[in-house]
Structure 1
Amino acid sequence: MTLTLDETDTRLRVAPDVPWVTLVWDDPVNLMSYVSYVFQTYFGLGKGEAKRLMMRVHTEGRAVVASGNREEMERHVEAMHDYGLWATLSKEDEA
């Protein structure tokens, strides 16, 4: 089967976005309890999951806290900045 240019363009437009992630990084300013609180409040995580992610940030220097399309991850990064946390986004396979 040979695709016309229109069919190829449509496939390119509807191709799923490459998964992106929001990374939260360790910093010398925020208390661990505050980081857990932010994860619970903003992401709606339970205390255990929020603490697990906070400990990953603390011990490994960073943690992936969300994944999805780029626009959504950009919103999460901005929200983390609003809470005073250091966050970045990255392609999932580069995280």
Structure 2
Amino acid sequence: MTATLEELDLDLAAQGAAEVPWRAIVWDDPINLMSYVSYVFRSYFGYPRDEAERLMLLVHNEGRAVVASGHREAMERHVQAMHGYGLQATVVRGEG
């Protein structure tokens, strides 16, 4: 009976780990203007001006902002797109 409970615990833990979203994070840099970062968030992600400004200020004031969360492949595409715009971005796993 114990082995079955331990197996169940492992299965549930693995299932929970698979459900943890990935996050796309944009990092502050000394190169890009705040207005440009806001523009990228509006044009690429389709964020309204207020949300793009809020995220840009997080990048500027706190050094980073989570700009999207979801499946790993989608976050990797977002990060590649951010690189294409000249922004520093990474994919991390965690609560989003």
TM bracket, shorter-chain basis? 0.7 to 0.9
Aligned residues: CA RMSD: 2.0
TM-score with structure 2 setting the length: 0.79
Number of aligned pairs? 83
Please identify which structure carries the higher helix content.
2
2:23 is paired with a residue whose SS is strand
- 1:39: which partner in 2? 41
Point out 4+ residue stretches in structure 1 off by more than 6 angstroms.
Answer: none
- 1:19: which partner in 2? 21
Q: Which runs of 5+ in 1 are unaligned?
A: 3-11
Deviation at 1:18, TM superposition (A): 2.9
Matches within 5 A, 1:26-65: 26-65=28-67
Q: Following the alignment from structure 2 to structure 1, what is the Cα–Cα distance between the partners of residues 18 and 93? A: 13
Q: Following the alignment from structure 2 to structure 1, what is the Cα–Cα distance between the partners of residues 19 and 75? A: 12
Q: Following the alignment from structure 2 to structure 1, what is the Cα–Cα distance between the partners of residues 78 and 94? A: 15
